[in-house]
Structure 1
Amino acid sequence: MTKLSVNINKIATLRNSRGGDVPNVVQFAKDVQEFGAQGVTIHPRPDERHIRYQDVYDLKPVVYTEYNIEGNPIKQFVDMVLEVKPTQVTLVPDAEDAITSNAGWDTLKHKDFLVDVIAEFQRNGIRTSIFVDPVMAQIEGAKATGTDRIELYTEAYAHQYTLGNKDAIKPYNECAVLAHDLGLGINAGHDLSLDNIKFFKDNIPGLLEVSIGHALISESLYLGVENVIQMYLQRLK
């Protein structure tokens, strides 16, 4: 079964909009695990507009499933991850002013940088994953960095799926097959939802983990968090 990691950034966004501690990010992380989620994902950014750096430390004692920290490996981020030692760090090349992640790594151009960063995390017992577009050359480049896993950037698939274009899955399938042959673990994330997750999962061999936040939280407004998590788990079987 593919694991479901719940990205709780949107809970932090809601909290920050009011300036207090409601909803409580730590309690929400406890709850989603109790409801069946197999991981908790956060993506702290330098401006702390949703997850704050203090949240990263506060969450560490309560995440008993998989703790996945995403982000651009600037020095502040690297130092924090090395101190917290999550289960997994997912490296994302997002600009500081980006609303959300919008591209994968150019694993060929940034190979030397990624090799050094990944090696440092692995020396500290942290599993590594890097965010990549569904491009065969980038998968081969990812292998050369020494990363443990890749995370396929699924926005293009999700957009095309809403238009009825199921052929959009093809490059993801081809890249997953290649990644598997190269010995890379396969994660995926971005704009995955209850509508498109089953088709994606059924067509991606070896899919280990999906990270879902925006859609899951939005769907929960109508259907309830516990119910939505169970719906995802059913689709991911």
Structure 2
Amino acid sequence: IPKANFNLLISPWVGLKIVKHLEAKYNQPYLHIPVIPIGEEATSAFLRQVVEFAGIDKTKSEKFIEEESKQYYNYIEHFAQFFSQYWYGLPSKFAIVGDSAYNTAFTKFLTDQLGLVPLKAIITDNPPEKYRDQISDIYHHLVEDDEISIEPDFTEDGYWIEKLLSETDFGSEIGVIFGSSWEKQIADDKNLKLIETSTPSANEVVLNRSYVGYKGALTLIEKLYTVAMGSR
């Protein structure tokens, strides 16, 4: 650890105390990126930020970004053709339950990049009070023009999570809950689709799946619209 040039923290708050301690003890700088990058825009910005902070040559990283971005948008272009035909039967609103790291990342990607409307965001990892304003601020700036924002709820209590979700009005449109197996019953009761993005996950087997980065975003899009099409 003492030999590291710097530390990279990708989390709203978990690990922040550690990197600050290492900075004080070993004079190691740290780069804190609160939101996990999902999708081309966030991932490319993340990579450029890390390369800039590290002070290394940008040639290889820019080539990598160019190649990954091209491939990403090639898939998105084909998806757009599908979306243009079936958009009327696809979800437009969502609620999400999970820890602050993935909750912020999913909410920002789904809102800013896919155009879904967030109705409820429930954070379950009990962040200390001193970090909650910073976390909430992420939800106040989900899109570039700040036209869409949401106030997150902080609770670990299953009873309150179910109550918050049951009181959320999805209207007559197709809605989705991103959460765990514990949200299955409320999803069924409200005729919503459930996509398991947090633990416990009792309804599917996952060996090697990620929703992070370029490819992770494509996996998330596949999952979202496969589940949605299953309701048709």
Give the alignment's TM-score, normalised by structure 1: 0.33
The structure with more radius of gyration: 2
Give the alignment's TM-score, normalised by structure 2: 0.33
